[in-house]
């Protein structure tokens, strides 16, 4: 009966497991999406550089040999380098100018010792030792290969391409192009749209910038303390952008996460929007941390998944609640039915006539068993406990199973079973109700023992005369009828009828009162009864008239018996001075007699006795005068 709690716990576990699975699925999907969008951001960032690659490559194809020749020439000891600088400027400035239209920010030629030979973007400034300042220049001197990557410089920070120059197979120097952050972001926005930023480690910048004053012009503080934007790149977005980025980054220690210097994606909710913040780690040419490329996009996919998770969870909860409600209702119904059954005083079982499927508490109590299983083990079928008796249904009736028989018999079937509690047989009235179409019946056994007893009692009561304790007129009539039937059925049987009436009883009543009259009637009844045989039937016919049916007596014997009674009465004491006498009529019953004819005859004889003076017996053939 604690089932409902078990089901509740089960449903709760299902819910928790379900939510766990949904959550796991959600986390997995979000992880996949984050990986995808991060890859996507990286791809965007690097594929947007292809235009710069192409420009650099074209320049390399067109001018590499020329530049190599010039560098070779200027580095021979006899030559003065200044005229060569002039020539390079003259010849390449238009090319440099056209590339700056595409966003190139720096073009510089470096000699084989790592010194700046010519800056197109700052022509007056040359000859300084770059290898001491920038690791990329040192790397170039060692590797003598094409290098590409980020690096901070003293004028420009950004994406740097370094091309080696060879003359006759001999390394003579290199040249580099730098595309600054603004250019990169412009290109990204041109291709993809969206909001991007590049932040650079503060220490990377400060270390190299020529003039501290330039630092302030050149960079402003980024979203986190150690990072800066380039002012020009940041100009693209207007003054609201750094505030927006700052607010995005101030939440949940995002700045701390930058310290790991790894790419990642986070989701941030701000101002009612879900943002995906994609952070791609950027490295310098030397492989050291440079900064980050940040791509901010309004998220819909992850929000959709989160939404789906809540919908799934809510649906699961709803379904489980519904199931619980249904279970609870059916549990309530079951409890109700069980309580109803157990509160019955009838024995109620569910059976197909052989096996009991269910039983109520009264059943268990009556048979003194703890469980139905115990009963089945001990007795198998309830019908094994039916006591065979006339008029009662037994285990089988005329070869038919008891239940079958009761179905045919209708509602009046009765059985007797032994009550182990009270140690007596009890009578039951059985009612059947079809349970389903599998042959199961709800069978109720109503204990009618008390009812039967009462019925019997009332029957007896209705047959007796209260005052004298003799049978009454009704009983007598039944009895007479039976006796007459016996005569007809069995032929010559001798049965006689004697009727007697108190003489002058009215006078007794009148003289001593009704009470005394009653006492006289009682005394007379007792007296006569005590002188009757066992087989004689004595009844009060009415008033002060009595009647006797004498088994085995013919007219003569009846006559004799009546005379004996008359004398006995006349000689007995009744508490009244004058004593008592009765007049008698006696006759033998005939085969053709009806109750009416027999009574009429005996009544006539009694009347004759009265007529003749009372206190006498008048018999069928001859009158006996007793006086
Ligand atoms: P008879 O010799 O002709 O039979 O005279 P009787 O007075 O006995 O006859 P009757 O039929 O005139 O009177 C019968 C009386 O019996 C009348 C009635 O009051 C009385 N009686 C009938 N039943 C009872 C009874 O139960 N108790 C008492 N005390 N009197 C009864
Ligand atoms: Mg009388
Ligand atoms: Mg009378």
**Rounded Cα gap, residues 29 and 12, in angstroms:** 25
Mean pLDDT of the 500-518 span: 95
Residue nearest to atom 30 of ligand 1 (CA): 517
**Rounded Cα gap, residues 55 and 61, in angstroms:** 10
pLDDT at site 203:
79
502 CA to middle of ligand 3, Å? 7
Domain spans in the chain, listed from the N-terminal domain onward: 2-37+309-332, 50-179, 183-299, 343-452, 464-624
Ligand 1 close to Cβ of residue 520 (< 6 A): no
pLDDT at site 623:
40
CA quadruple 346, 348, 354, 356: dihedral sign: negative
Mutate to test the pocket of ligand 1, among 505, 519, 574, 610 (most ligand atoms within 8 A of CB): 505
> Pick from 590, 591, 586, 584: which is nearest to 567 by CA?
584
Ligand 1 close to Cβ of residue 502 (< 6 A): yes
pLDDT band at 615 (very low <50, low <70, confident <90, very high): very high
Q: Residues lining ligand 2 (ion), CB within 5 A?
A: 501-502, 505
- What is the side-by-side order of every strand in the sheet holding 495-502? 537-542, 545-551, 495-502, 582-588, 617-619, 623-624
pLDDT at site 209:
59
Ligand 1 close to Cβ of residue 517 (< 6 A): yes
Q: What is the pLDDT of residues 71-107, one digit of tens each?
A: 998 887 666 788 888 999 999 999 999 888 888 888 9
Which ligand sits closest to the CA of 517?
A: 1
460 CA to middle of ligand 1, Å? 26
Q: Is the pLDDT reported for residue 1 higher than 60?
A: no
pLDDT at site 526:
95
Mean pLDDT of the 605-620 span: 94
pLDDT at site 158:
87
Ligand 1 close to Cβ of residue 509 (< 6 A): yes
Q: Is the pLDDT reported for residue 436 higher than 80?
A: yes
505 CA to middle of ligand 2, Å? 5
From residue 600, alpha-carbon distances to 471, 585, 592, 613, 614 in Å are 20, 11, 14, 20, 19
pLDDT band at 625 (very low <50, low <70, confident <90, very high): very low
Candidate CATH numbers 3.30.750.24, 3.30.450.20, 2.60.40.10, 3.30.70.20; the one for domain 343-452: 3.30.450.20
Q: What is the pLDDT of residues 306-335, one digit of tens each?
A: 999 999 999 999 999 999 999 999 999 988
475 CA to middle of ligand 1, Å? 22
Mutate to test the pocket of ligand 1, among 470, 473, 506, 570 (most ligand atoms within 8 A of CB): 506
CATH number corresponding to 50-179? 3.30.450.20
Cα Rg, the chain, nearest whole Å: 65
Give the side-chain half-sphere CA count within 13 A for 560: 4
Of 156 and 347, the structure prediction assigns the larger pLDDT to 347
Residue nearest to atom 5 of ligand 1 (CA): 504
Within its chain, how far is the Cα of 170 from the centroid?
A: 86
Q: Which H or E element spans position 164?
A: strand 157-167
Which ligand sits closest to the CA of 522?
A: 1
**Rounded Cα gap, residues 111 and 117, in angstroms:** 6
% the chain with pLDDT above 90: 60
Ligand 1 close to Cβ of residue 544 (< 6 A): yes
Q: Is the pLDDT reported for residue 627 higher than 60?
A: no
282 CA to middle of ligand 1, Å? 139
The answer to whether 134 and 100 have CB atoms below 8 angstroms apart is no
Which ligand sits closest to the CA of 506?
A: 1
The answer to whether 175 and 71 have CB atoms below 8 angstroms apart is no
pTM metric for this prediction: 0.57
Q: Residues lining ligand 3 (ion), CB within 5 A?
A: 501
Ligand 1 close to Cβ of residue 506 (< 6 A): yes
Which ligand sits closest to the CA of 545?
A: 3
Mean pLDDT of the 534-545 span: 94
Which ligand sits closest to the CA of 502?
A: 2
- For ligand 1, what atom is nearest to the CA of residue 503? 2
Most confident segment among 118-132, 217-231, 321-335, 613-627:
321-335
Q: Is the pLDDT reported for residue 207 higher than 70?
A: no
Contacts of 41 (CB under 8 A, 6+ apart): 265, 278, 280, 293, 295
Q: Which long-range contacts (CB under 8 A, 24 or more apart) does 276-281 make?
A: 276/37, 276/302, 277/248, 277/249, 278/37, 278/38, 278/40, 278/41, 280/38, 280/41, 280/42, 280/45
- For ligand 1, what atom is nearest to the CA of residue 501? 4
Which ligand sits closest to the CA of 609?
A: 1
**Rounded Cα gap, residues 244 and 195, in angstroms:** 11
CA quadruple 17, 21, 26, 27: dihedral sign: positive
Ligand 1 close to Cβ of residue 261 (< 6 A): no
Ligand 1 close to Cβ of residue 125 (< 6 A): no
Residue nearest to atom 12 of ligand 1 (CA): 506
The mean of the pLDDT values for the chain is 89
**Is 50-179's fold the same as 464-624's?**
no
- For ligand 1, what atom is nearest to the CA of residue 509? 29
The answer to whether 160 and 149 have CB atoms below 8 angstroms apart is yes
The answer to whether 163 and 298 have CB atoms below 8 angstroms apart is no
State the CATH class of domain 464-624.
alpha beta
Pick the range with the lowest mean pLDDT from 21-30, 145-154, 192-201, 224-233.
224-233
Q: Is the pLDDT reported for residue 468 higher than 90?
A: yes
Please tell me whether residue 297 adopts helix, strand or coil conformation. strand
Of 603 and 256, the structure prediction assigns the larger pLDDT to 603
State the CATH class of domain 183-299.
alpha beta
Ligand 1 close to Cβ of residue 447 (< 6 A): no
Q: What is the pLDDT of residues 348-370, one digit of tens each?
A: 999 999 899 999 999 999 999 99
Across 528-553, b (16+ Cβ under 10 Å) vs e yields beeeeeeebbbbbbeebbbbbbbeeb
Ligand 1 close to Cβ of residue 611 (< 6 A): no
pLDDT band at 479 (very low <50, low <70, confident <90, very high): very high
Give the side-chain half-sphere CA count within 13 A for 66: 12
**Rounded Cα gap, residues 182 and 180, in angstroms:** 6
pLDDT at site 337:
87
- Backbone dihedral angles phi then psi of residue 392, each to the nearest 5 degrees: -120, 150
532 CA to middle of ligand 1, Å? 24
């Amino acid at each position: 009966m604690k089932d409902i709690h078990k089901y509740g716990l089960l449903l709760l576990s299902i819910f928790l497991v379900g939510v766990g699975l949904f959550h796991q699925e959600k986390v997995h999907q979000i992880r996949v999406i984050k990986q995808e969008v991060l890859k996507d951001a990286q791809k965007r960032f690097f594929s947007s550089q292809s235009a710069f690659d192409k420009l650099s490559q074209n320049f390399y194809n067109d001018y590499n040999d020329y530049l190599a020749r010039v560098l070779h020439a200027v580095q021979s000891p006899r030559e003065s380098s200044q005229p060569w600088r002039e020539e390079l400027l003259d010849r390449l400035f238009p090319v440099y100018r056209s590339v700056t239209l595409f966003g190139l920010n720096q073009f510089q030629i470096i000699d084989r010792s790592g010194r700046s030979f010519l800056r197109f973007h700052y022509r007056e400034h040359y000859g300084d030792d770059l290898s001491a300042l920038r690791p990329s220049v040192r790397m170039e001197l060692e590797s003598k290969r094409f290098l590409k990557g980020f690096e901070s410089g003293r004028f420009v920070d950004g994406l740097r391409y370094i091309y080696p120059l060879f003359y006759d197979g001999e390394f003579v120097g290199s040249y580099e192009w730098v595309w600054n952050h603004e250019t990169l972001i412009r290109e990204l926005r041109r291709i993809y749209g969206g909001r991007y930023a590049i932040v650079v480690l503060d220490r990377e910048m400060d270390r190299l910038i020529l003039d501290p004053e330039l630092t302030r012009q050149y960079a402003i503080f980024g979203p986190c303390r150690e990072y800066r934007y380039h002012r020009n790149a940041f100009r693209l977005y207007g003054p609201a952008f750094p505030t927006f980025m700052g607010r995005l980054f101030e939440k949940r220690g995002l700045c701390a996460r930058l310290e790991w210097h790894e790419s990642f994606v986070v989701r941030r909710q701000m101002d009612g929007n879900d943002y995906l913040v994609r952070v791609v780690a950027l490295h310098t040419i030397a492989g050291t941390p440079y900064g980050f490329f940040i791509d901010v996009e309004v998220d819909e996919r992850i929000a959709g998944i989160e939404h789906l998770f809540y919908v799934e969870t809510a649906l699961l909860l709803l379904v489980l609640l519904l199931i619980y409600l249904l279970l609870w209702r059916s549990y309530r119904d079951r409890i109700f039915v069980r309580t109803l059954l157990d509160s019955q005083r009838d024995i109620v079982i569910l059976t197909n006539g052989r096996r009991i499927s269910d039983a109520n508490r009264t059943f268990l109590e009556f048979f003194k068993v703890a469980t139905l299983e115990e009963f089945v083990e001990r007795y198998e079928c309830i019908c094994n406990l039916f006591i065979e008796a006339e008029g009662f249904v037994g285990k089988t009736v005329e070869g038919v199973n008891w239940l079958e028989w009761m179905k045919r018999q209708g509602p009046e079937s009765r059985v007797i079973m032994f009550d182990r509690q009270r140690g007596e047989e009890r009578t039951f009235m059985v009612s059947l109700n079809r349970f389903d179409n599998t042959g199961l019946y709800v069978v109720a056994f109503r204990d009618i023992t008390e009812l039967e007893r009462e019925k019997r009692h009332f029957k007896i009561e209705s047959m007796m005369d209260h005052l004298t304790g003799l049978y009454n007129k009704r009983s007598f009539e039944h009895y007479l009828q039976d006796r007459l039937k016996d005569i007809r059925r069995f032929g010559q049987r001798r049965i006689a009828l004697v009727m007697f009436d108190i003489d002058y009883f009215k006078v007794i009543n009148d003289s001593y009162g009704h009470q005394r009259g009653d006492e006289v009637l009682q005394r007379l009844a007792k007296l006569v009864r005590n002188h009757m045989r066992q087989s004689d039937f004595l009844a009060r016919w009415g008033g002060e008239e009595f009647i006797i049916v004498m088994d085995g007596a013919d007219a003569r014997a009846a006559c004799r018996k009546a005379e004996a009674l008359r004398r006995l009465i006349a000689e007995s004491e009744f508490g009244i001075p004058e004593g008592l006498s009765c007049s008698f009529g006696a006759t033998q019953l005939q085969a053709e007699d009806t109750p009416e004819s027999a009574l009429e005859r005996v009544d006539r004889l009694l009347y004759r006795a009265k007529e003749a003076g009372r206190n006498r017996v008048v018999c069928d053939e001859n009158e006996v005068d007793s006086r």
